[in-house]
């Protein structure tokens, strides 16, 4: 079993829809949680960074962490065609290397 499991997708949604992305993990020591966005032919760029459980909001993006369920989510409200990308979850324990999900490719249709 992989340490981090991410819904594989792909997801295709109409413009304006809410996009929901999820990852589950097995290592209870994880306490730093990230979402990266990767456009085609580009490297991943950091989108959201959270510590421990709870919610974090940044514009149209909301990251949720539920450590009791070992489950993290990313929500994109009012999705735009420019949100079409691959989204990667990543997480780590304190002072340790990141573990990545395999990524979910999202297409927002105009």
Residues in touch with another protein (CB under 8 A): 6, 8, 32, 34, 36, 41-46, 49, 88, 90, 92, 95-98, 100-103
CB of 78 to another protein, least distance (A): 25
| HSE-CB of 84 using CA atoms within 13 angstroms | 12
Q: What angle do CA 108, 76, 71 make, to 5 degrees?
A: 120
Cα dihedral 70, 25, 42, 110 sign: negative
Radius of gyration over every alpha carbon of the chain, rounded to an integer in angstroms = 13
* Nearest-approach distance from CB 93 to another protein, in angstroms: 9
State in angstroms the smallest separation of the CB of 16 from another protein.
29
> Which of residues 74 and 90 has its CB atom nearest to another protein in the complex?
90
């Amino acid at each position: 079993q992989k340490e981090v499991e991410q819904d594989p997708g792909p997801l295709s949604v109409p413009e304006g829809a809410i996009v929901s992305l999820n990852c589950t993990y097995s290592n209870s020591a994880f306490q730093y949680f990230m979402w990266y966005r990767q456009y085609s032919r580009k490297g991943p760029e950091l989108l959201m960074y959270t510590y421990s459980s709870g919610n974090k909001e940044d514009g149209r993006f909301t990251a949720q962490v539920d450590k009791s369920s070992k489950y993290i989510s990313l929500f994109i409200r009012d999705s735009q065609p420019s949100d079409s990308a691959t989204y990667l979850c990543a997480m780590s324990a304190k002072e340790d290397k990141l573990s990545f999900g395999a990524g979910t490719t999202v297409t927002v249709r105009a």
